[in-house]
Chains A and B, each alone.
Chain A
């Protein structure tokens, strides 16, 4: 293998080392998470006190509207919040950072199979990030057509100006980055698994990331093409998605965009959640000190969800005028997703059952992920079913539901991942006490904030209203909205604990040992913290699965409750009736 490259630029900026690229994705992702979170705080202010001057930052940010949020600014806030969180925060953190960091290390490879493509993927992503930031400075403001970008509102008819154009272009560019990453991840997992690392010995994290990458490679191109057609509508005067009085004659079809968007958009939910599921599946086993319950069943359920994810997107369009028969088909398929979902949950909970649970900070966040995803899952029943969805569609109930699944679950899983892999990534340890405070605050407040949204939507409140209380039937919900906002502000403040912990631990954190968590997987058992360039001196040979815990005979022979994926079973005990998995 090549030696460590010399110059600062080659080492930290244009590095091809997957671990460096992982950190680059992580920091950019965190920056956008902060930005997206700030936008959410501003929205929550608006719902708590519609039209009131924003304290602290109002005069600075909204000087042209007297320090308060104008209706136009408000539409930009929720649009940019949604787009940034999905594509520039969760995606880079879960997939960009942890995909990059984990895949080569966990399968026993020295790097990605295409390191230069990896480098190129990050810098393409960075370019898209520049476009996003630029959109904020565009005349007429940034994008404002909602994160779903439905035309004709997203064409020049509804949102003229460069902000919307820049964001559609940014989506296209980040899509290109995601596809590069996906091709790299898929191929790396196929060709670079260490000897003995069969598919069914891979950690669940790798399974999640692999399935996610397959979905990305299949469906991001659909989004990119929809974006490209929309760009043509905006820039060249085509009419792919423009119809009605302003579009005729030779009108296009706005609903076609919705099909394209949701063919991508539903799988996107699983694109974001599959890595989270994988991480949770591993961590529950690691810290319950028990093998993952019915590992093959969990893998099968994740594969099943991946297959189904492309066949259910129509549940976003029950009221968009699709044919009833089509709606019923999508409804049946949507509800059937509960089968793999239940298998996942039952396996996770059975993994905990009769374990010896160590409540480490990553474990707490993994448990929190299960909890909020459970909330998100069951509340989806009313939205998968046509007749009840018709009522709740486009209300805050939907927003609460997808924030539990897509935001809360992926957020908590990302935090579980960072608390878990931080020692390996940076060679230092995060503070446990601050971690516990961060966890309790986040879990409780997330549940209250998104729970409040579920209740508001259940009471009929539409989403995306600048001033919901224009409607008399929503006026009694003002206190609910206000309290939800207070919880949201507290949730935002709680994240400062994490920032402090992160910064302090990076500088002064305790030096991490190679395997502080006492787990079986390769990155902890075969490499120091942090691993050197190209990870492994010699490529490890894998002899067993990733969840080797609490075998009584290992305890007798070695005096510990775990076995590395590379460790042969101790000879003294092997004479017993031990059955290798």
Chain B
């Protein structure tokens, strides 16, 4: 798995590792059973005429099925539900953070347009920070994304944050992450979106707080200078939902 820069990615990684153990155990049982039978019960071995219809014979398949259902599946379902509900789908908690950063992303073939609300906290105003493929965020605070697309379906993929979400035209997707480590991390498109799908790469740079504040001020001022009320296509932002 790629480098994990996020606060909560380790939960996913842990569940993946637990599953890997289950997977290896199940495979080992299957392969061991099969290989042993093939080696020991070949042509020279006399076959027993057991049709497996006795009640005792059914204990084995049902027993393994029960183990897999309650132990393996149960564990996956419980942990996954907990992680999704408490963390990854828990937008109210992220929204409640006083310093949470909100970003709107408008995907198109083949780039990520992104917009920060600027000092006034409102989207689609003159002080919005507008960037292309180059997103910057502060470390250790929740980053909330609202995403949409103008053309086809894309998928906003943050491998170093263990998450992704489809970005669908006519629909708003939501995602939140929190970085734990500063650095540059790649944004990928994970949904086939046309000829140059493979080039739809962005960067998410995680900065220390002061650096982010300086960058935001500068970028906001620049965007304000370039602001043109008449250019309606440039104001693709929406009210935060």
- Tell me, rounded to whole Å, the shortest Cβ–Cβ distance linking B76 to chain A: 4
**Known contacts A294-B52, A387-B15; A346 and B60 CB within 8 A of each other:** yes
Contact B80 A321 (CB under 8 A): no
Are B73 and A338 neighbours in the complex by a CB distance under 8 Å? yes
How far is B188's CA from A339's CA once the two chains are assembled, in angstroms? 36
A354 to B50, CA, bound (A): 9
Contact in complex: B195, A71 (CB < 8 Å): yes
Q: Is the CB of A342 within 8 A of B64?
A: yes
A79 (CB) vs chain B CBs: closest residue: B192
Residues in A whose Cβ lies below 8 Å from that of B61: 294, 297, 342-343, 346-347, 350
Stretch touching chain A among B16-24, B97-105, B127-135, B222-230: B16-24
A308: Cβ under 8 A from any B Cβ: no
**Residue B218 at the chain A interface, CB threshold 8 Å:** no
B141 within 8 A of A: no
Of B57, B79, B169, which contacts A152 at CB under 8 A? B169
Given A321-B165, A458-B1, A550-B48, check contact A350 B60 (CB 8 Å). Answer: yes
> Is the CB–CB distance between A473 and B2 below 8 Å?
yes
A57, CB-defined interface residue at 8 Å: no
Q: Is A355 in contact with B165, judged by CB distance below 8 angstroms? A: no
- Interface centre among B43, B155, B168, by most chain A C-beta atoms within 10 angstroms, is B168
Q: Is the CB of B166 within 8 A of A321?
A: yes
* Partner-binding segment picked from A34-42, A117-125, A185-193, A390-398: A390-398
How many Å lie between the Cα of A395 and that of B188 in the bound state?
11
Q: For the complex, is A65 an interface residue (Cβ under 8 Å from B)?
A: no
A572 within 8 A of B: no
In the docked arrangement, what's the CA distance between A283 and B46, Å?
Answer: 18
Residue of A nearest to B23 (CB): A378
A385: B residues at CB distance < 8 A: 15, 19, 76-77, 80
CA distance A152 to B217 in the complex (A): 38
Is A381 in contact with B153, judged by CB distance below 8 angstroms?
no
Type the 1/0 row for A133-150, where 1 means its CB is closer than 8 Å to any CB of B: 000000000001110001
User: Using a CB-CB cutoff of 8 Å, which residues 316-350 of chain A contact chain B?
Assistant: 319-321, 324, 327-328, 331-332, 335-336, 338-340, 342-343, 345-347, 349-350
Q: Specify the chain A residue showing the minimal Cβ separation from B16.
A: A388
In residues 140-190 of chain B, which contact A (Cβ within 8 Å)? 148-153, 155, 157, 159-160, 162-166, 168-171, 173, 186, 188-190
Flag if B49 contacts A552 (CB, 8 Å): yes
Which one of A367, A371, A381 has the greatest number of beta carbons of chain B within 10 Å?
A381
A158 partner residues in chain B, CB cutoff 8 A: 151-152, 193-194
Asked if B186 and A355 make an inter-chain contact with CB atoms under 8 angstroms apart, the answer reads no
Given contacts A347-B61, A355-B47, A460-B159, contact A244 B84 (CB under 8 A): no
List chain B residues, Cβ under 8 A from A515: none
The verdict on A352 contacting chain B, using a C-beta distance below 8 Å, is yes
Q: Within 8 Å of chain A (Cβ to Cβ): is B211?
A: no
Is A338 within 8 A of B65, CB to CB? yes
Category for how many chain B residues contact A? 35 or more
| A349, B49: Cα distance in complex, Å | 15
Chain B neighbourhood of A343, CB < 8 A:
61-62, 65
CA distance A145 to B171 in the complex (A): 20
Tell me the A246-272 residues at the B interface (CB within 8 Å).
246-248, 251, 253-255
Contact with A along B37-53 (1 / 0, CB 8 A): 11001111111111111
CB within 8 Å for A367 and B38 given contacts A393-B190, A394-B157: yes
Q: Is the CB of B77 within 8 A of A335?
A: yes
Q: Is the CB of B192 within 8 A of A145?
A: yes
- Tell whether A198 is near chain B: CB-to-CB under 8 Å: no
Does the CB pair A245–B37 fall under 8 Å? no
Could you say which of B11, B38, B80, B173 has the most chain A C-beta atoms within 10 Å of its C-beta? B80
Known: A71-B195, A343-B62, A358-B43. A157 touches B151 (CB 8 A): yes
- B16 to chain A: which residues have CB within 8 Å? 382, 388, 391
Distance in angstroms from B58 CB to nearest chain A CB is 6
Within 8 A of B (CB), among A290-304: 290-297
Q: Is the CB of A465 within 8 A of B166?
A: no
Report B78-95 residues with CB < 8 Å from chain A CB.
Answer: 79-81, 83-85, 88-89
Docked complex Cα distance between A357 and B68 (Å): 28
A-chain residues with CB within 8 Å of residue B119 when the two chains form the complex: none
Which residues on B sit within 8 Å (CB–CB) of A152? 151-153, 169
Check A466 for interface membership: any CB of B closer than 8 A. yes
- Decide if B197 is an interface residue (CB 8 Å cutoff): yes
**CB–CB A468/B171 < 8 A:** no
CB of B198 closer than 8 Å to a CB of A:
yes
A357 and B15 CA atoms in complex are apart in Å by 39
Contact residues in A for B50 (Cβ distance below 8 Å): 290-291, 293, 354
Contacts A290-B47, A473-B186 given; does A374 touch B31 at CB 8 Å: yes
Query: Are A387 and B27 within 8 A (Cβ)?
Result: no
Contact B169 A247 (CB under 8 A): yes
Q: Which residue of B lies closest to A392 (CB)?
A: B16
Contact partner of A248 (CB less than 8 A), chosen from B47, B49, B170, B188, is: B170
Tell me the bound Cα distance from A158 to B189 in angstroms. Answer: 16
Cα distance, A130 to B72, chains bound together (Å): 47
In the complex, what residue of chain B is closest to A76 when comparing beta carbons? B195
* Choice from A328, A371, A547 contacting B81 with Cβ under 8 Å: A328
On whether A332 and B77 interact (CB within 8 A), knowing A349-B37, A357-B38, the answer reads yes
Q: B58 to chain A: which residues have CB within 8 Å?
A: 294, 297
| CA–CA, A346 and B195, complex, Å | 46
- List A contacts of B27 (CB < 8 A): 374-375, 378
Instruction: Give the shortest distance, in Å, between B125 (CB) and chain A (any CB).
Output: 21
Give the contacting residue for B30; candidates A374, A391, A471, A552; CB below 8 A. Answer: A374
- Taking CB atoms, residues of chain B closer than 8 Å to A12 are none
**B49–A331 CB distance below 8 A:** no
**Does A416 reach chain B (CB closer than 8 Å)?**
no
By the criterion CB–CB under 8 Å, are A356 and B46 in contact? yes
Q: Given the known inter-chain contacts A243-B170, A350-B60, please indicate yes or no for A388 contacting B151, CB distance below 8 A.
A: no
Q: Tell me if A391 and B163 are in contact (CB < 8 A).
A: yes
- Indicate whether B96 reaches chain A with its CB closer than 8 angstroms: no
A324 touches B65 (CB 8 A): no
18 pairs, A vs B, C-beta closer than 8 Å: A146-B192, A153-B192, A244-B148, A247-B169, A253-B170, A290-B49, A295-B51, A321-B166, A331-B80, A336-B73, A346-B61, A347-B52, A352-B34, A353-B33, A359-B42, A385-B19, A394-B191, A473-B3
B-to-A contact residues, CB < 8 Å: 1-3, 11-12, 15-16, 19, 22-23, 26-27, 30-31, 33-34, 37-38, 41-53, 57-58, 60-62, 64-65, 68-69, 72-73, 76-77, 79-81, 83-85, 88-89, 148-153, 155, 157, 159-160, 162-166, 168-171, 173, 186, 188-199, 201
Add 14 more A-B contacts to A294-B51, A390-B12, A473-B3 (CB < 8 A): A75-B194, A150-B192, A153-B193, A246-B169, A289-B47, A296-B53, A342-B61, A352-B33, A371-B30, A375-B27, A388-B19, A390-B163, A394-B157, A466-B198
Q: Please name the 3 residue pairs, one residue from A and one from B, whose CB atoms are nearest each other, closest first.
A: A244-B169, A243-B170, A293-B52
